[in-house]
Structure 1
Amino acid sequence: MKLPLRNLILLVLMLAASGMAGALKPTKKIADQGPKVELETLIPKGFGEWRHEITSVAQVVDPQQKEMIDKIYNQTLSRTYVNAQGYRIMLSVAYGGDQSDAMQLHKPEVCYPAQGFTLHGKRADTLQVPGGDLPVTRVSTSLGNRNEPVTYWITIGDKVIKSGGIEKKLVEMSYGLSGKVPDGMLIRVSSIDADLARAYEMQDRFSNQLLASLPSESRQRLAGAN
């Protein structure tokens, strides 16, 4: 039985599209090229006015959330730092070697409410850091009498993006067209502080001193090539 010409043309186009999709599917992971990321050594335990506080119990981690995060990321790092005045900053860095559609970043505005926190607000902001402007997201949360403002940013490959959405997809597509699967990193800085303005000011100081303490290559891993 002969196929009508229209159906034959559609069949040819579908087969061609399928072949192109297979040919264009990215296969080379950036994570497998160049030096391997090791968060424990990438992030110093002391810099500027901040020192790692080993005995702190400020972090709250839900076991189910930890199980989910371990599936999404290859490496995670959580530390609490303190300065001479006793102000504490919590740093959380999560690194995933595959930021394709199958592996997505777990953002604070999602994971905090999942742990019982109330989300009070979220806004985009820009942080002045060594090398230029860093797009960040500010999130305000609370759990009972614990007020925890959060500042975070996201890297996909060597680019810092805003909280996600279209920009993230465009960056992933640009890597995909060159046959590469980008890695990704989420850097979260927070503090337990009812004074929102002070919290963000201290978090900015912490982030600036952290990035300024890193060699150029490490700084680019955390804050993008630009």
Structure 2
Amino acid sequence: MKLPLRNLILLVLMLAASSMGIALKPTKKIADQGPKVELETLIPKAFGEWRQDIVSVTQAVDPQQKEMLDKIYNQTLSRTYVNAQGYRIMLSVAYGGDQSDAMQVHKPEVCYPAQGFILHGKQAGTLQVRGGSLPITRVSTSLGNRNEPVTYWITIGDRVIKTGGIEKKLVEMSYGLAGKVPDGMLIRVSSLDPDTVSAYPIHDRFSSQLLEAIAPEARWRLAGKPGNE
């Protein structure tokens, strides 16, 4: 059976990189270059139609136990936002300064079922933002009578990547061949909504307004740099 061309290219690149061994082992962490990431100040507490809801009892899902999070990520941030109509959005951002194989971001389609949620579906999508679009992933989950649609995207270095393993590995390898260790983020937006279909456009509106509210010089942290799609 023939391998798909992209898989074959990835296999060849991985074998080539492996044969080079320690000589090309990346050593320069992108996280150590430039201003440090501070999620608490990077993510605004109010923007567009949204304000942080400090009295909400909505419980956001943690991808793993806290001790595991501390091993994987340098920083995590979880907030609930509400608009004038009373619609609530849960935002979770996890930042890791080293996105090597030992410190990979954890995807909702893995961590939600690990906590007992039923995964009803997963699909790729795009988020329209100023200057282009971002690849995102939609995940539909439920736990008892809690229906939680999820939208998320992942950054590796200065790029927003598709969540498929091939694209992710190719980006990581491009950094590795340049001697760099990329940092990365997982940005997760979710809501408690029985109508999954209508929830996703609200997620998109929230996400677009969030990115628009972040200072241009820092926006690339969450949205990648132009030309790196």
TM-score (norm 2): 0.88
Residue correspondence of structure 1 range 130-169 to structure 2 within 5 A: 130-169=130-169
Q: Report what 2:178 is aligned to.
A: 178
Structure 2 residue identity aligned to 1:186: L
CA distance in 2, matches of 1:153, 1:33: 23
CA distance in 1, matches of 2:162, 2:99: 15
Q: What do residues 179-199 of structure 1 show as CA deviations (whole Å, max 9, x unaligned)?
A: 000001000000000111211
CA distance in 2, matches of 1:164, 1:18: 21
Secondary structure of 1:186's aligned partner: strand
Cα 1:143–1:44 shift into 2, 3 Å = same
Secondary structure of 2:56's aligned partner: coil
Residue correspondence of structure 1 range 57-72 to structure 2 within 5 A: 57-61=57-61, 65-72=65-72
RMSD: 1.7
Residue correspondence of structure 1 range 45-124 to structure 2 within 5 A: 45-61=45-61, 65-124=65-124
Q: Report what 1:210 is aligned to.
A: 210
Kindly state the Cα deviation for residue 163 of structure 1 after the two structures are TM-superposed.
1.2
CA distance in 2, matches of 1:129, 1:76: 24
Cα 1:99–1:83 shift into 2, 3 Å = same
CA distance in 2, matches of 1:71, 1:144: 30
| Equivalent residues of 1:65, 1:111 under 8 A apart | no
Cα 1:73–1:208 shift into 2, 3 Å = same
| Equivalent residues of 1:99, 1:184 under 8 A apart | yes
Q: Which runs of 5+ in 1 are unaligned?
A: 1-16
Cα 1:63–1:174 shift into 2, 3 Å = closer
Q: What do residues 44-83 of structure 1 show as CA deviations (whole Å, max 9, x unaligned)?
A: 0000000001122212446963322221110000000000
| Equivalent residues of 1:65, 1:115 under 8 A apart | no
Structure 1 residue identity aligned to 2:115: Q
CA distance in 2, matches of 1:87, 1:19: 53
CA distance in 1, matches of 2:18, 2:60: 47
Residue correspondence of structure 1 range 9-28 to structure 2 within 5 A: 20-28=20-28
Identity of paired residues, percent? 82
Cα 1:63–1:50 shift into 2, 3 Å = closer
Kindly state the Cα deviation for residue 127 of structure 1 after the two structures are TM-superposed.
1.1
Q: Which runs of 5+ in 2 are unaligned?
A: 1-16
CA distance in 2, matches of 1:82, 1:18: 49
Secondary structure of 2:203's aligned partner: helix
Structure 2 residue identity aligned to 1:213: A
Structure 1 residue identity aligned to 2:99: Q
Cα 1:91–1:20 shift into 2, 3 Å = same
Matched length:
210
